[in-house]
Amino acid sequence: MKILGIDSSGLVASAAVTVDGLLVAEFTVNNKQTHSQTLLPMIDQVVIMSGIALKELDGIAVSEGPGSFTGLRIGSSTAKGMALALKKPVIPVPTLEGLAYRLACADGVICPLMDARRNQVYTGVYRFAKDGTLECVIPQTATALSEILQKINGLGEKVHYLGDGTAVYREILQKETTVTFDIAPLHLNRQSAAAVAALGALYLEQGKGVEAKEHTPVYLRQSQAERERAKRLREQSVEKEG
């Protein structure tokens, strides 16, 4: 099975090609360039270097969210455009599952943390079963860090943290985590299109691929523009009532 993986859900932009369980090519960038500048050239390069023609792909796996609103829209539109042109399925992979899959077969539980700003994180808790499958312990959500830490401490298991939120909240994690924990090293700590492609292959086998036109990103909360609009409408409503 040949899968193109795409992840632009956070600061990292990543593209990868996997073939029958083997990572053939991956291109990952973590700098201040916008994903609109980097993603398509990266995809072009991994496809060329893999030696696999686009028409040979079985599907396009994309990180569906949560994450950066702009990044998710870029990744989604890129995957949809390619899938429509190639008549291939899109395979949505929840961002936090893709992150957790980077620590495949780790003991205890895995807690991805993405900085969602406004004193919140995008997070969830996962564990790997004995057969190597990824199990969801706490579904992905946007929440205060203190809330997820309370739940993690309540589980009483070793926890592995990863994601860009670990850099932002490292001191809090060290102070408030009461169970044994570690933080993933730099080469495993951020999003990877290889993990998205690997999960995408599994999910395609499970029938989770969708037609390109059906795919939409998962944001978990409103964008800043939507929040500001809702605030203005509330204020206007109060003024009218007054």
Concatenating the DSSP letter of every residue in 74-126 gives HHHHHHHHHHHHHT--EEEEEHHHHHHGGGTT-SSEEEEEEEEETTEEEEEEE
For the whole prediction, is pTM greater than 0.85? yes
The residues of the chain that CATH labels 3.30.420.40 are: 2-96+191-220, 103-188
Which runs of E-coded beta strand occur in the chain? 2-7, 13-19, 22-29, 59-65, 90-94, 109-117, 120-128, 134-143, 159-162, 181-183
Number of H helices, E strands in the chain: 8, 10
103-188: CATH, from 1.10.1060.10, 3.30.420.40, 3.40.50.720, 3.30.465.10: 3.30.420.40
| Helix pair 69-86, 35-50: axis angle to 10 deg | 40
CA dihedral 163→135→206→52, nearest 10 degrees, is 30
2-96+191-220: CATH, from 3.30.420.40, 3.40.50.12780, 3.40.50.620, 3.20.20.150: 3.30.420.40
Q: Which of 140, 143, 144 is nearest to 64 (CA)?
A: 140
- Cβ atoms of 158 and 128 within 8 Å: the answer is no
**pLDDT truncated to tens, each residue of the chain (242 aa)?**
999 999 999 999 999 999 999 999 999 999 878 899 999 999 999 999 999 999 999 999 999 999 999 999 999 999 999 999 999 999 999 999 999 999 998 999 999 999 998 889 999 999 999 888 999 999 999 999 999 999 999 999 999 999 999 999 999 999 999 999 999 999 999 999 999 999 999 999 999 999 999 999 999 875 444 444 444 544 455 455 65
